[in-house]
Amino acid sequence: MMRWGKRLLVILLVTVMMLGSFVGCGSGGSGGNESTSSSDSAAVSSDSETTSGDDAAVQIGEPDAVFGDGGTVLKIVSGSENQELEPILETYANDNDMTIEMSYMGSLDIMRMLGDEEIPVDAVWPASSLWLNAGDENHVIKHTESISITPVVFGIRQSLAEELGFVGRDVSVQDLLTAIEDNKLRFCMTSATQSNSGASAYIGFLYALLENPEVISEEDLQDEALQTQVRELLAGVDRSSGSSDWLKDMFLEGDFDAMVNYECLIIAANEELEARGEETLYTVYPYDGLSLADSPLGYVDGGDDEKEEAFLALQEYLLSDAVQDQIQQTGRRSSFVGVSEENKSVFRADWGLQPDRVLSPIKMPASDVLFEALDLYQTDFKKPSLNVYCLDYSGSMSGTGNEQLVAAMEQLLIQENARKNYLQASENEVNILIPFDDTILGEYYAEGNGSELENLYDIVAEESTGGGTDMYQAAAHGLEMLVGFELSNYTPAIILLSDGVSGGYFSEFQETYEHVAEVTGVRVPVFSIMFGDADPEQLEELADYTNARVFDGRENLTEAFRSVKGYN
C-alpha cells in the first residue's frame, strides 16, 4: 500500500474503533441565496479542488460561496449538503459584520486534507464524524459539534413502491435485492469510494446481507454468497455520481425510478417534483442496514484567538433552538429520536417519511476491513465502468497543456496511482481512448486492469499535437463505439477534454446521440473537462443535453480527471 494508505490505516485503526457507528451527512439542495459564487449542475464544483498523490497537500481554490463582507473572515471547507444552509449562513454573516467563505469538497478529500501539515481553512464541516476523526492525525480539530442528522434512504417512485409492496411496511435490504433480481428495481447511487452517502449505503448493505454481525470481518468479506449478493444488488445501479447533491440534480433531470440518498435530499427532490406536477418518491428505510449522517462542524486550531471566538459564535448560533428549527425545516433532524411537532409537516407521511422513527446507527468495521471493503467495491462488486476518453491533441495543447494531460492520465491509467484514490479499474472494466484534433487520430481499446490498460498511457504520452479542434466529432465517434456493447452491464460515460473553441456542429452530435440512445436504450452522459481557452458554453451545452456535468481543469487538470472518474 502507498505511504498515504499506510498512514491512513493507522489513523483509522485507532479512530474508527472509537466511533462505534457509521455516520455521515453528505449532500443537500442548492439553496436559494444570493452568494458571491456558487456551483450548478453544469458548472464545476469543488469536487475538483484538491490535489492527488501520496504526499501532495490538498489545495483550496476560490471559494464556492462568500457571505458578508466584514473584517473577520472564516474559511470553511464543507460537504456539499450544507449548500442548503447557505441562507442561514448569509444572514448570520450580514448581521455580525463578518465574512464566511465556503468551499465544498468530498468527505474523503476533507479527511486527506486534515493529514497535511498546513490546513488552509479555519473550520471543517464534513459529511460524517468518521472522516473528521480519521483524518485529524495532528489533533488540530477542536470544538466539534454535530449540526444535524439525516439517514441514508431509498427514494422510489410512488407507483413503483406500491407495485413492489413497499408502502406502509418495513423493508429489508433483502427485499430490495429481490426486486433488483426480478428486474423490477433500478436505482442511482453515489460511488462508495468517492462519496459518504454511497459509502454509508454500501456498508449498510454489507451488514444487512451478513445478517447484522457484531462486526464485519475480513473473512465475512470473502464469503462467496455475500459477494454474489452484493454484485447482484449493485447491478441495479443505473447511474453513479461522486456527489450526493449532484445525484439529486441528475435524478430530477433524468428518467430514473429510484435513488439512494440522504433523507433531506429525498425531501428536497420531492418538493421540486411536486412543484412540477410530477410523481414524487416514496421513502424506504432499510431497517436492517440503515446508516446515518451527523454533519460535524469543527475548528482548525491555528492559534488565532479572534477566529476561534468567531467560530464559536457561529457554532453557537447554528445550535440555537431557533436555527435548529430552521435546519429541521430543510428536512434534517436534530436528534436520533424524531423531530419537533411543529416541523413534522416537512416529513410527510404520504412520502413515506417517518419523523418519529428512532434512528440507530450501524457499527463500523475495523479500519483494515473497511479498506478491504472499499477495494472490493471498486475492483469487484460494482458494475464495471465503460469509459471513452476523448482527448484534445490540437496545436494549442502543445507544451504545458500536453504535459499536464499526460500527467493527469497517468493517475488514472497506471493502477498503482489510481489505487491511491480508489479509482482503480476492475477486471471487467473497459477503457477506450480517442485522441483528436479536427479529425479522429485513432481509437484504442483496453479491457481489464492489467498491462493492456496501462499500455494506453504510453499512447497518451506518445501522441503528438497539431491541427484544429472538433470535440463534437470525437464525442459522436465515441458514442458510435458503444453500440457494440450491452450497456446494461456497464456504467458508460464519455469523458471529453478540450482546451479551445471547437469547430464542428452540436446538431451533428445530437443526431448521433439520439440514434445511439434509440439503439442501445441508454442515454450516455458526456462529462467534460474545461481546460485552456475552452468555451464553457459549448461544454455546458453537452453536459446539459446528456445530463452530465463540466469539471474545471484549468487550475488542476489531474484533480479534474480524478473527480470525473469518480462519477463513473
State phi, psi for 342 to the nearest 5 degrees.
Answer: -70, -15
pLDDT of 492 above 50: yes
- Which residues does 210 contact at the CB level (< 8 Å), separation at least 6? 216, 220, 223, 226
Q: Shortest CA distance to 373 belongs to which of 563, 219, 187, 214?
A: 219
Q: Shortest CA distance to 152 belongs to which of 340, 302, 283, 15?
A: 283
What pLDDT, in 10s, does the model give residues 303-335?
Answer: 999 999 999 999 999 999 999 999 999 999 988
Full-model pTM: 0.84
Burial (0-12, 13-18, 19+ Cβ within 10 Å), 277: exposed
Q: Helical H runs in 521-556? A: 536-546
- Contacts of 526-529 with C-beta under 8 Å, sequence gap 24+, read 526/475, 526/493, 526/494, 526/496, 527/493, 527/494, 527/495, 527/496, 527/551, 527/564, 527/567, 527/568, 528/496, 528/497, 528/498, 529/495, 529/496, 529/497, 529/498, 529/553, 529/557, 529/560, 529/561, 529/564
Kind and range of the H or E run holding 18: helix 3-19
Q: Under DSSP, is residue 231 helix (H, G, I), strand (E, B) or coil?
A: helix
Kind and range of the H or E run holding 319: helix 305-319
What pLDDT, in 10s, does the model give residues 269-293?
Answer: 999 999 999 999 999 999 999 999 8
pLDDT of 367 above 80: no
Q: Shortest CA distance to 88 belongs to which of 370, 297, 396, 284?
A: 297
pLDDT of 10 above 60: no
Q: Shortest CA distance to 176 belongs to which of 269, 268, 280, 259?
A: 259
Confidence category of residue 366, pLDDT binned at 50, 70, 90: confident
CA 195 to chain centre: 4
**Which percentage of the chain shows pLDDT scores above 70?**
90
Q: Shortest CA distance to 257 belongs to which of 355, 336, 179?
A: 179
Confidence category of residue 35, pLDDT binned at 50, 70, 90: very low
pLDDT of 231 above 80: yes
Q: Which residues pair with 171 in a beta bridge?
A: 286
C-alpha distances (whole Å) from 529 to each of 330, 479, 501, 538, 540 are: 32, 17, 13, 11, 10
Q: The C-alpha cell of 250 is what?
A: 441528475
What pLDDT, in 10s, does the model give residues 65-79?
Answer: 999 998 899 999 998
Q: The C-alpha cell of 499 is what?
A: 482546451
Distance CA 350, CA 347 (A): 9
What pLDDT, in 10s, does the model give residues 409-432?
Answer: 998 899 998 888 788 899 999 999
Burial (0-12, 13-18, 19+ Cβ within 10 Å), 59: middle
Distance CA 315, CA 51 (A): 29
Distance CA 482, CA 387 (A): 10
Distance CA 267, CA 2 (A): 41
Distance CA 322, CA 340 (A): 12
Q: Mean pLDDT for the chain? A: 86
Q: The C-alpha cell of 299 is what?
A: 475548528
List b or e across 77-116, with b for residues whose CB sees 16 or more CB atoms inside 10 angstroms.
bbbbbbbbbbbbbbbbbeeeebbbbbbbbbbbbbbbbbbb
